Amino acid sequence: MRKNLLITGASSGLGEGMAREFAKRGCNLALCARRTDQLDALKAELENRYPQIRVCVRPLDVCDHEQVFEVFRAFRDDLGGLDRVIVNAGIGKGAPIGTGNFDANRQTAETNFVAALAQCEAAMEIFRQQNSGHLVAISSVSAVRGFRGAMSVYAASKAGLANLAEGIRMDVMNTPIKVSTLFPGYILTDINREVRNAPFRVDLETGCRALVAAIEKEPAEAFVPGWPWTPLGFLLKRLPVGMVARLS
């Protein structure tokens, strides 16, 4: 069993939801995010509900790359090792390219890819030293194709993360270190709450339960929830670009 878990972006959304699900399973948790008040409240809740587990929290802005390494190493020392790191922190800002919103698009790209790279580097440094561990990259169904409008940079950044995770997986093939990439469909969070075209969207608890179940299986890749996103992901990769444009 992977006992000691680190989750980034754990103060809300998928990170918070996964923390609750893993706590139910008796895991010790290392939780980080920018909003420490929400982390402190989550820590108190989980330790009160599950007194057998340990919950450590630290503030972290994943775009502060040096701090990423410092926080990951500190969590390793807190818990005596890390068995799984879930690279979850991300944002969904964005606008069509060329419409004067470069700053928002840049921030999305830097947070979802460059900051994710820093998290992968910090996690893999620890796993290589331990010769064990499970790296989990939370990508998106949108990563399988280019998307239009406000989704363009978000989809591209999540595709970059998926390809990065696949490369890392190749590096550690046939070793005790495992790498998984998850492609969530629409799970209700603040990122997509105002999205009107969100087919098959599920509530946060349902989505996070499916994410944790998938993570525990340690697949190379998985669409979550499996139905209907596994067949839809297969189709999305093969649809003509004009049809994808109408859908996105």
Q: For residue 19, what are its two tokens?
A: 């923390």
CB-based contacts of 55: which residues, under 8 Å, 6+ apart? 23, 28, 29, 31, 42, 43, 46, 47
Alpha carbons 85 and 49: distance in angstroms, whole number: 23
Sole residue written with tokens 């499996």? 226
Judge whether 161 and 221 are in contact, CB under 8 Å: no
- Phi then psi for 57, rounded to 5 degrees? -130, 145
Distance CA 172, CA 8 (A): 22
**Sequence letter at residue 235:** L
Residue in the structure block whose two tokens are 């004067």: 100
Helices marked H in the chain: 13-24, 36-49, 65-79, 102-109, 115-130, 152-171, 204-217, 226-236, 241-247
Q: CA dihedral defined by 102, 104, 108, 109, rounded to 10 degrees?
A: 10
Q: Is 186 a catalytic residue?
A: no
Per the residue annotation, which of 22, 75, 154, 223 is the catalytic one? 154
Reduced to 3 states (helix: H, G, I; strand: E, B; else coil), residue 6 is strand
Let me know: does 224 contact 136? Beta carbons within 8 Å.
Answer: no
Active site residues: 154
